[in-house]
Structure 1
């Protein structure tokens, strides 16, 4: 079995920072990562980055999200279609991949925040429960 791998790094100025767009195709899967360099990087800095940091880039992130189930409600389907039409279309495949990656990171951090809130609430409840127990025992 043979897997083809192709990678490119494009460095450009986005108006404020020098940014690298790393595109990676492996076995038919397309992935992209965005690297902010800040000041204009020299050729040596770019080479050092490719040699030292390239392996740590998350091109594909998590597995692709499952497509949502189609709604049975026709009004909901119409609303979703209108919302999809209002969203600006991304121009390139790299931009689409970056947007999907940002969305996955956003979903993951939201899940982590809600889990943290639930753990804190559970800890507060446990503290109150222990305090009530101690009062009941007369301490």
Structure 2
């Protein structure tokens, strides 16, 4: 069994912060993670991040994707690499996955908030019920 993994880290300035976009294709599954660096990271800081923090990243999106076989021809690989470098910093696929991630986090937050509110309401009701019971007993 062979597992192929391809990862790309793109660092760009989004107008306010320096952001890293980590894209990973593992066994035909595409995932993306967004890292906010804040100030412009140096090459050493990026390398340190990759060495120490890369395995901790949670990649969002796990839809199958088509992967191209790596070419054995070095000239072709160089052409493909220069083609990738000419592309914009963020792919539309990565943008879509990040948007889906934000929506999922928003839905989870709404669900948690409504659950918390329901729990608080239930707790208030239980406290009132206990208070009424104690008054009724004559305490």
Q: One fold, TM greater than 0.5?
A: yes
State the Cα distance separating 1:37 from its structure 2 match: 0.5
Rounded Cα–Cα distance in structure 2 between residues aligned with 1:96 and 1:11:
18
Rounded Cα–Cα distance in structure 2 between residues aligned with 1:126 and 1:2:
58
5 Å-filtered alignment, 1:50-129, equals: 50-60=50-60, 92-129=92-129
State the Cα distance separating 1:111 from its structure 2 match: 1.0
> TM-score scaled to structure 1, two decimals?
0.76
User: The residue matched to 2:106 in structure 1 has which SS?
Assistant: helix
State the Cα distance separating 1:60 from its structure 2 match: 2.4
Q: Does 1:7 align with 2:16?
A: no
> TM-score scaled to structure 2, two decimals?
0.76
2:75 is matched with none
1:39 is matched with 39
Q: Does 1:24 align with 2:24?
A: yes
**Do the aligned partners of 2:7 and 2:25 also contact (CA within 8 Å) in 1?**
yes
User: The residue matched to 1:25 in structure 2 has which SS?
Assistant: strand
1:80 is matched with none
Q: How many residues align?
A: 112
State the Cα distance separating 1:58 from its structure 2 match: 1.3
What per-residue deviation string (whole Å, max 9, x for no partner) do you get for residues 31-79 of structure 1?
Answer: 1111111110011111111111111211126x77xxxxxxxxxxxxxxx
State the Cα distance separating 1:25 from its structure 2 match: 0.8
**Do the aligned partners of 2:3 and 2:26 also contact (CA within 8 Å) in 1?**
yes
**Do the aligned partners of 2:6 and 2:25 also contact (CA within 8 Å) in 1?**
yes
RCO greater where, 1 or 2, for CA within 8 Å and sep 6 or more? 2
User: The residue matched to 1:95 in structure 2 has which SS?
Assistant: helix
Structure 2 gap segments, 5+ residues each:
64-90
